[in-house]
Chain A
Amino acid sequence: MNIHFYTNIVTIIISMLMMLPVALLLDGIFRKLLAKAHNRVGPSIFQPFYDLFKLFEKKRSDSAGYKSLFFRVVPVLYFLSTYSLFLFILGVIQFQFDFILLIYMIVLSSALYILLGLVSNSPFGVFGSMRDMLLMICYEVALTVCIFSFIVYSDVLSLSQVNQSWLLFKLPLVSICMVVITLVETRITPFDTTDAEPEIMGSVETEFSGRSLGLLELSRQLRFLFFILLLIRFLFNPVSAVSFIILFILMFFILLLSEATSARFRTDQTFNWLIIVLMLSVMGFIRIHFLVW
């Protein structure tokens, strides 16, 4: 093995490890700005770090779920599958694998989240999983169709080879659907029905505590960062670093504004909206052959 291979491995490891503090800091800034929108002081921006260390220090709880093997293993699997999504999106790593692998990893991560609720020993967890299963029929299929449209339009086989900028204007319908699906995946109102606290307590994460809950929180923050980067990569694909930073801040503010100014839909109402999103994305995909500009 030559020196190229070793430097490559070191770059991959360092850039992947850098994603963890960036995701935690981003979540801290989100919470602080949301508190400012509510006219209150809010937590410090390093609060997710303190929360993570506190959760990892706790002892194992007395939950009856610990009797089953899945209860102990599935949080770790969920974290690993979410973390490995970053291998596709970072520009420094020239990952030459197919985009079908990307779609598979996204769906695997969502499916493991549903499995978390089913293996926990509580009716609230089962309920939360049932809700997410119902919605997954729409939004995962729509996500697949959207990614298909981007890839087919760019005529490439892998995510790292997409080199057309400003696809937002060339594929408008599909871009809008991507934004809505990002709201669902990152659990931001108005589409965060799985996280409905007054209705079903903690939903999927009710029974977990200690290290498992720490891994779940970390995975949620990593998903937030991943989906913002995916949106920027597909819709804009900026070349220079300055435009990347400006677009990142713009996308961040759009998500923040959506969280601060809207209420939450009920499950059947979210389902109706997501059916419309699915139909729009299919229409956008078909339109690539006709009326393309």
Chain B
Amino acid sequence: MAADGGLQLMTMSFTTRTDGPMNTKRQKTRRPRLTALVAAALFASIAVTTANVSSAAAATDKWLCAKGGTASIANPADGGLTNVSVSFTGFVEVPSAADCATAVPRLGDPTPVRLTEGVTYNIHVVNQAGFAINLVGVGLSGAPDLIGIAPGASGAYEVTPVVPGTYMYESDLDPRHSLLGLHGVIVVDPAAGPTSAHGTAVSTYDTEQIIVITEVDVDLNNAVDPFAVDSLAYDPDLFLINGQTNTTNVQVPPLVVDPGERVLLRYINASPANNTMTVVGLRQELVAFDGEIQEGSAVGVGETPLDVSNVFLSAGQTADAMVTVFGSPGQKIPIYNRNLLTSAVGDNGAQLMFLQVNTGGLTAHSKIYFSLNNAVRNMGGVVIRDEDVARWDGTNVTMFFQGSAHGLIDNGANLADIDGVDVDRITGDVWFSLRQDFPRPGGALDPSNPHAAEWVGVAGDVLQENDVFRYDASTGLMSIWLDGSAIGLNDLSNIHDINGLDVDPVTGVTNFTTNGNISPFHNVPLFTGSTTTFGAMNEDVIRWTPDVAAAPSGAGSLSVVADLSDLGLAGENIDAVALTPTDVMFSTTNEYPNPPATPDFDRDDLVACLGHQPPAAGSVTDTCFGPLSVQFDADTLNAGGIAGQVDAYAIG
């Protein structure tokens, strides 16, 4: 974003020092660019030395290698039983120039060059293509490099992207370069991090799917000298997403997604045709074209984007479109080019891929939220305490909810330790339960707590271990979500401590586990005025269903939704639970003894009963698809030991 705080419409610039002041025409109509964009490029093939670049601010180096390759593309004519061999020249990102020798480019490669807003990069290009090439951000500002990089030489382009989004780069010294495959994807992540496309609420996503749309004229690509082929003879015969056709036998791999997830579709139309991407059964929120934010009808930043069924992409255009997944487990949601380009009947148009609704377990992009048990651990440079909620995105641990920033500060004999958690990944709301009673910040036992103001809505002087609290991220205030003593969980011992939690913010349904066995002989007073008996073991998942949606502290009923003693647990004490539409996932306090070796369920692990089925009529046994399986092992993050075991999990 611009220093003036307004929307910086200038996107990004590949600049060369050979062209003097850049792009004055565009500056007249757009807001001023960042001064950091004054930049340089160097080409080994021309008389510019590396010293010119070193005078700029320290830049991050990226390396691209341009070289030839051969793609085997499933032949639509026979349903993919055979392949069509296509020669191409492509870019591939490599760790250093030396890696270019062994790098293998992919036709239509969706792997993005990932940049961060506001950071200056030197993008080095090693040209092993056999002909002169250049690098240009398509449709983006910046002076053209008309000379390029000679074959066998290397050069560099400096870029400071200032608007996050999805972009395409290519070599455009000759119109055939892009047709031959010399193009790629740049994703500019917001400075705030890659959780949104543009640093805005409407562009916040759970996962992304990059979709590169291309087509190939095999005669052109396989010509001995493609540059001797008349451009007017261009006649495409293969139509690709991410370098693949869709055929009966070979398809682009589907992206497995969970219902409710927001999936950012990053379309890159690298084809010379105008194409229209449609999703069957889901609306697409038009977030951006070419990195430029689109609102309802381009009225103002922050408006809800228009949701369309078809995203029309001119040749060379990119779009960011958001879909919210809706569907039953296993359902395949098609994404395809409505222009229905295809070279053979029967394949519905070759540019087709699917989102597939998760049939169970974690997806490749699942985010895991957890809290430690009675420990402090350094996890990849982030210090996580047991009153914190950490987030694991598959690569990094980050702090999601820092307990001490909300008054949960260990003091003397009072240990602040979250032992049950659920989160709303979109709003940032957190539901949690404590492992021990704790003085209410600002209450009589802790009047000077600096975060007392957050807790004014919570009655009493003690935060009880059998209660569930909710942190509202929008107001910054705490409240009691579920008062355990009101549903029969007493605070006399830690038996009734709620130690695992999974809530539905909309219905108020609250699933939990307890630290000890709730004796069947224990009378549970319910709101109706009568008492009834309710028993559950600490391997059970208990459900509180309020009579009034989203009013969990009113009247309601208790039930057992999962009895994991049926699955071999006996006294391990489930201390974390996360439910998905198909699965029960949990972690235990004690080691799971059987089987002792493979898989060895550790007390740090997130274990799943996939495809959980409660007891059927006439049965008393819960079942899963297959044996219990480890979904996640927190030991890999330096959890470790009895202290440090994970006692709260949530999935987002």
Decide whether A and B are members of one complex: no
Q: Please report A residues at the B interface, Cβ cutoff 8 Å.
A: none
